Structure 1
């Protein structure tokens, strides 16, 4: 319901000191029918207040001149202000849009008392999950939990009244849920292992379903002599390996690797970076950013990111892209001690090269190196020009 008085209060607040207030009772607002906003047609007036004439202000939620979405209420508030304060200029009045409330900003948490009262528990993300049917609710609200229990599980509520009987029944449901969780965890772990092998061998995500189907048919013969053959095959059937699941598992593993990689880089006493510029098959310049550091397992060299450069490829663009990448990933640049490049002018220019601009941005000198592989390529090109041919015996 649109509240005209709340909008009126937000509009009149900036003028409280500019114009002296006069004792006026709030006017009555005419109640209208749909599609107009329904509201009370009376306002409490304290005893002793002077009488004021009633004002008919019609507020329409679907105001064609305002475009809808509450524009009618704002227009009605402006019209009401013009009646109450005719000396106010419309240019001085600004409309303030109220920010919509978000459930994520309310910091709601699961209440343990809901477990015995409504047979609910919380999952790993903190959201309530029904122990009876397994349905997960969208947010932690007692009204939602109670409504679900009272509407969908009336038989359970009647069979186990609130008290010791319900607590005992909920305890049994919790034990069954723990067994289901352990079973789900084993199949989830198996799907991660299968996804890792698919990615390792460079196979498409759709091969997960092919792998699962093949595994089921092989198991029918491989475990023919096992007494629990049916349970084994059922476990394989429950393993999620759809294309969407394989994709999600791949993203999660990549995020986990990146997280540990950044943690190792930031914990190292010093690290160095190497940058190389190249074009991909779509003719877009890419900056390959590598990082070398030492951790408890010894020297490490990891690829941090492949940064696309869709604009120019000057030293300023490369420096900005590299610094933005390090900042976005949360890599601390205070431990950066050296830079290796391919020796191109955009990289090693004395004034506008990538290395010079990087040192200027970090406000300190860095050790700079010309990549030995690029030096060997230049040397080979100098010693053996294209017109020379090498005969092999």
Structure 2
């Protein structure tokens, strides 16, 4: 439901009651993923979407029924070979939808929607499979691990659910986790749906060069909030970077010291000019960011490495630098280079090796802790 937070926030302000249908699981091909939502209020007004059209009518009816009887239900919609155009997903996929009636005075749901509408990080946890009396119960978890509301059940359930949700919130993941009703990680019991809402991660591109134009587009495609920074106003212009979220005219190291970064921030240094990138990298390599990469030839890298050592950058700090930036794709054009750079960023984020899957025995899906995505326990169905 955080997918449609802006609309639901208005409904809460207006005192409307509504029912919300949320996609909690997807298998095969489906138009939208977990977290997609459709809501219907008491007057029959609908906002959002769960499938792009093919099951909207049936889900709408479920919402109307939930408003009438006050019951939370979980329904599955899938492809039927015998009647492909009946209620179902003719694209061949299967989706599970959780339909929950929401009262206007529901403090947990209201707080979650308000946080998402303000762009704050929060995770909403709901019981998606389990005893009927627990279905739809909710818990709101903050980035610091604090939480409000309750899932009911045994005393340890809320605490364990909050720990799982906080781990997923750290990486902005939405999906399910299975735990026992007593809060242990034994199989069976309950399926919790964790819906994370976090501001988009930042990508800061230093150097308003031709390669930066393509990298901005690639960064936006991957969901980053992209900033371009350059000390030269003639290059850092909206005409050259129409898709950038922010354009900053300032010395790169000075801007980096005054802007906000976090553990998801990606820094791409494309200046390959010592007067810009040495002071910039000296600051960048001491920040707890996700990725620091710098463009340049191998000779440029060697010179940069020497200069960084001279200003006191340690071996441990230098080990964090991805230079020359990008994977070896044989890239030449700005677009190919942007693909090379973003491929390395994804590999670093997901724990990938960057080697071809053909002929290798590496896992196709990785997670940063080294386990396959979906192995067990706290792994989410992303």
| Interval containing the TM-score (normalised by the shorter chain) | under 0.3
Q: Which has the higher helix share?
A: 1
Q: Which has the higher strand share?
A: 2
With normalisation by structure 1, the TM-score equals 0.23
Structure ranking higher on relative contact order (CA contacts 8 Å, 6+ apart)? 2
Structure whose CA Rg is larger: 1
